């Protein structure tokens, strides 16, 4: 099915084309901007009714500049932005502008948008969190409202594709450390056995001990040494671990360090080191501590050939950070065009679940999120850390509930 949309000349057509591309991926309906050789449009998008069967009022921000913090209203029980009072319009808001605003994280280009103690954007101030819609992919609901208004019969297929991802924050907990560090680690996690851990001959953090149980689609995101852990990619045992993961058939991605989130040149060096060690190009990334800067971080990634970016979840919540359940291309506001860098929604992270709920409540919460993603034919990632498999210290009670559930979702 195709929906032809004509637009006023004041609407930046490249931006509208981007939104319609995302809507096509999100719904399965082919949304297309009308051109002279196309069949007559059923919807006109702009500032004046042009005699098409349906008219949708455009927000003035298309002609000028979208506000960092638009006002929010409630329509049919859901929050909307870019509302208006034009009674001729099939909807009382501009869902195309709202989609563009959410996907670009436009609010974070406000120089006064707050950051937390780690230099990350303060997610508690984001629109999605303030409106309490992080557990609903709100863009899909907006698409549904417009299809109903256009009298389109649409039922999205109920499928769900999941990409399992594992952040390797700490390659080893015991090996390749001095004996006193091994002993201190064992005391901190409340275990002195087995003795092999203390002798450094075995290590529960080493992914090679358990990755045979994972599906081939699992993506391992590897963290370079520095302030986060002591082992550089070029440390021979770490380099061999990376090569062994690849030989097993898994994909390798970069887990950009904390500092690289605000220093793109450092991120580039980490990527180059990982590529040398792995012997292959690196096409995927997630930032450590979920720290990044707009637009600099994504500009550098797009230029460096990264194709999939997974810094798309919150540290203190789970759900749909961008309000959508399918991957989408990152839009570069400097060049004012979409890029080949795709942001893949990360539905939940083990650390976030540990912060917001209890082990007994995890199945209900994760099932709720999975049901929402499946309802809209979602394609999402889920995130666990290799420390979960080690199951030591604070991770111990969570391994029992999260690991089986994580594996079940594969």
How many angstroms separate the CA atoms of 24 and 152, rounded? 14
pTM for this model (two decimals): 0.93
**pLDDT at position 182:** 55
Using the structure block, give the residue that is written with the tokens 């082990």. Answer: 359
Using the structure block, give the residue that is written with the tokens 């015991």. Answer: 174
Phi and psi for 265 in degrees, rounded to 5?
-65, -35
Q: Which of 291, 242, 250 is CA-nearest to residue 267? A: 291
Tokens coding 37: 């050789």
Res 192 pLDDT > 60 = no
Q: What would the pLDDT profile of 301-357 be if each residue is shown by its tens digit?
A: 999 999 999 999 999 999 999 999 999 999 999 999 999 999 999 999 999 999 999
Would you say 42 and 54 are in contact if contact means Cβ atoms under 8 Å apart?
yes
Domains and CATH numbers, the chain: 2-149 (no CATH), 160-171+206-408 (3.20.20.370)
User: How confident is residue 154, by pLDDT bands cut at 50, 70 and 90?
Assistant: confident
Average pLDDT over residues 145-160: 88
Q: Which helix (H) or strand (E) holds 62?
A: none
Q: What would the pLDDT profile of 83-93 be if each residue is shown by its tens digit?
A: 999 999 999 99
Task: State the Rg of the chain over Cα.
Answer: 23
13-27 helix and 138-149 helix, angle to the nearest 10 degrees: 100
Q: What would the pLDDT profile of 284-307 be if each residue is shown by its tens digit?
A: 999 999 999 999 999 999 999 999
How many angstroms separate the CA atoms of 220 and 124, rounded? 28
Res 189 pLDDT > 60 = no
How many angstroms separate the CA atoms of 235 and 273, rounded? 11
Res 191 pLDDT > 70 = no
Res 200 pLDDT > 70 = no
């Amino acid at each position: 099915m195709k929906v032809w949309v004509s637009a006023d000349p004041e609407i930046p057509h490249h931006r509208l084309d981007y939104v319609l591309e995302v809507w096509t991926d999100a719904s399965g309906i082919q949304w297309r901007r009308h051109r002279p050789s196309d069949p007559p449009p059923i919807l006109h998008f702009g500032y004046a009714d042009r005699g098409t069967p349906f008219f949708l009022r455009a927000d003035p921000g298309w002609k000028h500049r979208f506000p960092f913090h638009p006002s929010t209203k409630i329509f049919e029980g859901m929050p909307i932005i870019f509302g208006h009072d034009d009674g001729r319009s099939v909807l009382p808001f501009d869902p195309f502008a709202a989609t563009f605003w959410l996907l670009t994280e436009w609010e974070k280009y406000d120089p006064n948008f707050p950051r937390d103690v780690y230099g990350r954007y303060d997610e508690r101030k984001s629109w999605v969190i303030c409106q309490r819609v992080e557990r609903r992919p709100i863009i899909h609901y907006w698409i549904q409202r417009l299809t109903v208004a256009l009298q389109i019969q649409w039922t999205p297929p109920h499928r769900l594709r999941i990409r399992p991802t594992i952040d390797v924050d700490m390659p080893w907990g015991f090996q390749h450390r001095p004996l006193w560090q091994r002993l201190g680690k064992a005391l901190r996690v409340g275990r002195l056995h087995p003795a092999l851990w203390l002798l450094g001959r075995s290590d529960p953090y080493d992914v090679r001990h358990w990755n045979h149980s994972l599906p081939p689609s699992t993506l391992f995101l590897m963290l370079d040494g520095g302030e986060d852990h002591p082992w550089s990619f070029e440390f021979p045992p770490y380099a061999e671990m990376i090569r062994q993961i690849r030989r097993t058939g898994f994909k390798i991605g970069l887990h950009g360090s904390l500092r690289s989130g605000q220093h793109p040149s450092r991120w580039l060096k980490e990527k180059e080191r990982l590529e040398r060690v792995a012997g292959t190009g690196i096409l995927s990334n997630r930032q450590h501590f979920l720290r990044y800067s707009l637009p600099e971080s994504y500009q550098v990634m797009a230029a460096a050939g990264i194709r999939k970016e997974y810094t798309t979840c919150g540290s203190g919540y789970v759900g749909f950070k961008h309000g959508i359940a399918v991957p989408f291309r990152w839009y570069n506001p400097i060049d004012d065009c979409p890029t080949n860098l795709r942001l893949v929604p990360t539905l939940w992270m083990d650390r976030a679940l540990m912060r917001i709920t209890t082990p007994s409540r995890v199945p209900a919460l994760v099932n709720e999120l999975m049901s929402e993603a499946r309802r809209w034919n979602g394609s999402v990632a889920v995130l666990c850390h290799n420390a979960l498999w080690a199951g030591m210290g604070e991770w111990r009670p969570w391994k029992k509930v999260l690991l089986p559930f994580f594996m079940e979702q594969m």
